[in-house]
Amino acid sequence: MFPERVLSGMRPTGALHLGHYHGVLKNWVRLQSEYPCLFFVADWHALTTHYDDPSIIESSTHEMVIDWLAAGLDPAQATIFVQSQVIEHAELFLLLGMSAPLGWLERVPTYKEQIEKLKEKDLSTYGFLGYPLLQAADILIYRAEHVPVGEDQVPHLEMTREIARRFNYLYGREKGFEEKAQEAVKKLGSKLAKQYLELRNRFQEQGEEEAIEQAHALLDESKNLTLADRERLFGYLEGSRKIILVEPQALLTKDSRMPGLDGQKMSKSYGNTIAMREDAESITKKIRTMPTDPARVRKTDAGDPEKCPVWAFHQIYSDAPTCAWVQDSCKNAKIGCLECKQPVIESVLREQQPLLERAQTYVDDPSLVRSIIADGSEKARKMAQETMRDVREVMGLG
Ligand code: TRP
Ligand code: SF4
């Protein structure tokens, strides 16, 4: 009934680093050729924690979109936009808020955690409590089925599904739904109707997800249904309600474990990052001063790559012969650490080259970025408006 959309967002935090590139962006780039994708800058979400310091949001948004384009996101394939440019997100957020139980928001694990963690900020605000509800609106407004995110976002996705279910429960009730659905079944023709009812039974009695998928395919193929009847039959499969908002699933990006310069996970808060578009000189210096196995005080001291963050970089950036060379030379004290780091420096710089080239066009002409965002936001708005028409109608605002 709805196209199988992928959606994800990122708060504007300024220049992205190699952890974002390997952990998130490469995955987005792959997805853009497999599904209709929407990727957006969650600038309102940034304000939930940075409401006292909005000055960086605009420049961070711009730089971040350049990093996306540098990584290979293609505005001809994916819809790239900015949350605050699609005002409909705010409308859905408001309307979902009418029935969202406070307890659900308070119980989201990140809520209390973040308040604890960011002690220097006052996060006992309405906006911060609403963070996951705004995220739910971001997702539900496009009826997105897949949301590529990291492990930390799973509770938000769970709550989004609960919000969708509750919405459909409250507003998907239609007078005489059961009868209208049964009428619609007949319109399928006797053969398809029989198949449809069998699949419905299999799902309702055995909970077989596969049966639902087959039934969806069957409905997609059937030609003589009105849009309203089709929606009824989708809803009738799962219960006795119309499906207005679609329940999304997290598409877990497996932790790429891009290590930082100190061996911990690469993260801005640890100060151990290499920016995607950092200049060569600075990258070289950072890698040359990386800590190594502390046992290797002198070149003649044997080391253990397992105790060295440089080895973690080799595992990402070096081929098998180079890795074997590192193992042997380190354990047998055949080389100095600077020599060991040299191929890493070269690979990081080599891999960065195409990113820099792609970014250059946008650095030279910032208006290109602005028009990509404007076009993407326009496209996103059209999709969002379709959902909002249905939402308003069932909430008595038609
Ligand atoms: N909360 C997400 C994060 O911190 C960002 C985000 C906002 C998001 N809205 C979203 C992610 C919708 C996926 C879908 O990473
Ligand atoms: Fe690390 Fe390489 Fe030095 Fe061994 S030789 S400690 S792997 S930098």
In which region does residue 257 sit, left (phi positive, over 0), alpha (psi from -120 to 50) or beta (all else)?
Answer: left
Contact 359, 73 (CB under 8 A): no
Residues 101/103/108/110 CA torsion (nearest 10 deg): 120
The H-or-E segment that residue 148 falls in is strand 146-149
- Tokens representing residue 80 in the block: 């790239």
pLDDT exceeds 70 at position 264:
yes
Q: What is the CATH topology of the domain spanning 277-363?
A: Tyrosyl-Transfer RNA Synthetase (1.10.240)
Q: What are phi and psi of 239, to 5 degrees?
A: 175, -140
Atom 4 in ligand 2: residue holding the nearest Cα = 330
Residue with tokens 């605009």: 58
Distance CA 366, CA 355 (A): 17
Which residue did the predictor score with more confidence, 173 or 360?
Answer: 360
**What is the distance in A from the centroid of ligand 2 to the CA of 353?**
25
Q: What is the CATH topology of the domain spanning 6-172+245-257+366-394?
A: Rossmann fold (3.40.50)
Ligand 1 neighbourhood includes 43 CB (under 6 angstroms) = no
pLDDT in tens, 15-29: 999 999 999 999 999
**What is the distance in A from the centroid of ligand 2 to the CA of 270?**
22
**What is the distance in A from the centroid of ligand 2 to the CA of 349?**
19
Distance CA 112, CA 38 (A): 30
Ligand 1 neighbourhood includes 9 CB (under 6 angstroms) = yes
pLDDT at 208: 85
Q: 139-143, 238-242, 366-370: lowest mean pLDDT where?
A: 238-242
Helix (H, G, I), strand (E, B) or coil at 74: coil
Atom 14 in ligand 1: residue holding the nearest Cα = 8
Using alpha carbons, select from 247, 248, 219, 249 the residue that is nearest to residue 234.
Answer: 219
Q: What is the DSSP letter of 208?
A: -
Distance CA 234, CA 60 (A): 42
Q: Which ligand 1 atom sits nearest the alpha carbon of residue 135?
A: 9
Q: Which ligand 1 atom sits nearest the alpha carbon of residue 10?
A: 5
Q: Span 254-272, mean pLDDT?
A: 88
- The CB density around residue 243, as the number of other CB atoms within 10 Å, is 22
**What is the distance in A from the centroid of ligand 1 to the CA of 198?**
39
Contact 141, 384 (CB under 8 A): yes
The distance from CA 290 to its chain's CA centroid, rounded to whole angstroms, is 31
Residue 125 makes CB contacts below 8 A (sequence gap 6+) with 48, 51
pLDDT at 255: 67
Ligand 1 neighbourhood includes 138 CB (under 6 angstroms) = yes
Distance CA 88, CA 287 (A): 45
Distance CA 59, CA 214 (A): 47
**What is the distance in A from the centroid of ligand 1 to the CA of 42?**
7
Of the listed ligands, the closest to the CA of 292 is 2
Residue with tokens 């220049």: 15
**What is the distance in A from the centroid of ligand 2 to the CA of 350?**
21
Of the listed ligands, the closest to the CA of 248 is 1
Q: Which ligand 1 atom sits nearest the alpha carbon of residue 134?
A: 9
Domains 6-172+245-257+366-394 and 277-363 share a fold: no
Ligand 2 neighbourhood includes 303 CB (under 6 angstroms) = yes
Ligand 1 neighbourhood includes 135 CB (under 6 angstroms) = yes
Domain boundaries, the chain: 6-172+245-257+366-394, 177-237, 277-363
Of the listed ligands, the closest to the CA of 335 is 2
pLDDT exceeds 90 at position 258:
no
pLDDT in tens, 223-252: 888 888 988 999 999 887 888 999 999 999
Atom 3 in ligand 1: residue holding the nearest Cα = 10
Residue 250 makes CB contacts below 8 A (sequence gap 6+) with 147, 148, 149, 153, 154, 157
Which amino acid is located at 66 in the chain?
I
pLDDT in tens, 323-345: 999 999 999 999 999 999 999 99
Which amino acid is located at 168 in the chain?
N
